[in-house]
Structure 1
């Protein structure tokens, strides 16, 4: 099996409300994109102008309004706000409603989404163990008729998921470090990461870790979906393309600068101090479609076959129209769709 090239859209629930996001999913399908991935945040990165609709009902609404695009989370944390059994039930239901169109993308989480509800934010090793245990429970609930499980963090007693799709929902693991990436290679159907970081992170750390995990499971990259969120700002006006990145300034904060911050107001305050050049560093900012496509092709050339585009601007309808006209045809020709 070889995973096909897919060109997707990031529906940024941190920036847009639920009705608008559902309408955007319809527009994306009409424009020829292959997938829509939704953020799952309890709180947005930015307090002013931010949004945080719940991802699970949002996917249900998107599925009802579309007929073709893949729908997934990028990413959901199945370990703090949710019991893994709740996620198993919810995504089994979504998979039964929209067969072979739903993807469960998971990660170890952000304090922004969990601490506000009284969670004690643990160190990375514990978050990783929680994720592994959660995925074990989800897999058992999807595959076994009756599940009883006593783990380090979670307990399940005499549980059955009664309504499941005929084909299991694929699970993708989001990662920015080697441990979770190896886990994706070992057990997941896909691997999710984000663009705009040091190229050596992908070539020297993440993709070798993915291959290591795949080797342990007797698989190759042809057996998993390699997805990267590609941060882009494409606009005919170069100054506008640059300024549109401003809302996403928190992404430019270093891990140390945003460590443990659970309040969007404080996150916004710290992000406001950053110069626009640093804010835009994570994005491909260009008004030239050929330059834009060339830089995206370089990312795909690292080994990614599912490119999910995240545009930072408020005018998402304009972004979709420009991408449909100027970028998607060039990309498909360049990358051999």
Structure 2
């Protein structure tokens, strides 16, 4: 059976609200949770972007059952990989083993803020691979010195280590990232239900590993209201990864999505309260081979109605159908 997760979307809610939302998701019966890690929202209408790692620490203390995961952190620009290793080890301790470290090659939107430039995609993947190697070495507890193509680490050691290191997930969007995820990841992460991505992941060592997808949804008892909200806050998502990874800020995303119509969003994102439409959207991930799907309810002030509906109708329907 596909496990159903809940997304703490930092771009659409403040830190205290995000913690409250994941507490609600645990109570509603979601199987796991993930959190985005951005410096900026995609669109100004979303209006938020708190520090994900502080939210995670609070969430670990406010919950007791639901697993937590970054979806995803970029360990190459804003954060040095040694610092990511320390944060992840601490989160695994705070959560008592409920944490997974999702990593990706990043987006210009968030990483440009440190002024390090934005290299080509193949360079970003090389940086990610080196970062994963550093993080895994530090998880062993050994003292690490490293002088590589992109990073230097000098006599670094993690002094607080969990009993077991957090599993590492790697986000994919094409053949090169799938190869990296297959070789270096414990699980694979994607935002589209593409079977080809998972097949490429399997070809390079991913067979038998977990595969986690993410699906935006917009619950509302009024479908037109849901479509309008999804168009206002999530029209950027129809641009595709190759475009979205390169744009530097909300103005760019707004311009790139200016021709996206509400009807386009309604076709791509399940909107309203038709349980069958939501189930069918999740089913596409199941049929592609995903073992887990994290739902994103669009609208920071619409989380509690969604959680109530999910507990009463959506989660039972998903579990009886998938």
Q: Equivalent residue for 2:61?
A: 64
**How far 1:176 sits from its partner (Å)?**
1.1
**Equivalent of 1:330, from 314, 317, 322?**
317
Aligned-pair distance for 1:323?
Answer: 1.1
Change (3 A) 1:242 1:48: closer
1:304 corresponds in structure 2 to: 290
Cα displacement (A) at 1:237: 2.3
TM-fit CA distance, 1:147:
1.0
Match of 2:247 in 1: 261
| Contact in 2 for aligned 1:99/1:167 (Cα 8 Å) | no
1:101-250 → structure 2 map (5 Å cutoff)? 101-195=98-192, 202-203=194-195, 205-214=196-205, 220-221=207-208, 224-246=209-231, 247-250=233-236
Structure 2: gaps spanning 5 or more residues: none
Size of the aligned set, in residue pairs, is 320
- What's the offset of the Cα at 1:290? 2.4
Deviations 1:179-230 (A, max 9, x none): 11222222211111113xxx6xx12x3011111012xxxx632xx2110001
Partners of 1:233 and 1:95 in 2: CA distance: 31
Question: Structure 1 unaligned runs (5+)?
Answer: none
1:316 aligned partner: 303
Q: TM-score, normalised by structure 2?
A: 0.94
Q: Is the 8 A contact 1:116 1:262 kept in 2?
A: no
For the aligned residue pairs, the C-alpha RMSD in angstroms reads 1.8
Q: Secondary structure at the match of 2:145?
A: strand
Contact persistence 1:241–1:287 (CA under 8 A): no
- What do the CA deviations read for 1:222-242 (whole angstroms, capped 9, x no partner)? xx2110001222333221232
CA deviations over 1:130-183 (Å, ceiling 9, x no partner): 000000000011114211111000011211111010011111111111211222
Residues 93-118 of structure 1: CA distance to partner in whole angstroms, max 9, x if unpaired?
11112222011101000000111321
Q: Answer with 42-51 or 162-171: which moved more.
A: 42-51
Deviation at 1:272, TM superposition (A): 4.3
Work out the CA distance in 2 between the residues paired with 1:315 and 1:234: 8
Counterparts of 2:77 and 2:170, CA distance in 1: 16
Aligned twin of 1:17: 14
Q: Aligned to 2:288, what secondary structure does the other structure show?
A: coil
CA distance 1:257–1:72, change in 2 (3 Å): closer
Give the Cα–Cα distance (whole angstroms) in 2 for the partners of residues 298 and 47 of structure 1.
31
Q: TM-score, normalised by structure 1?
A: 0.90
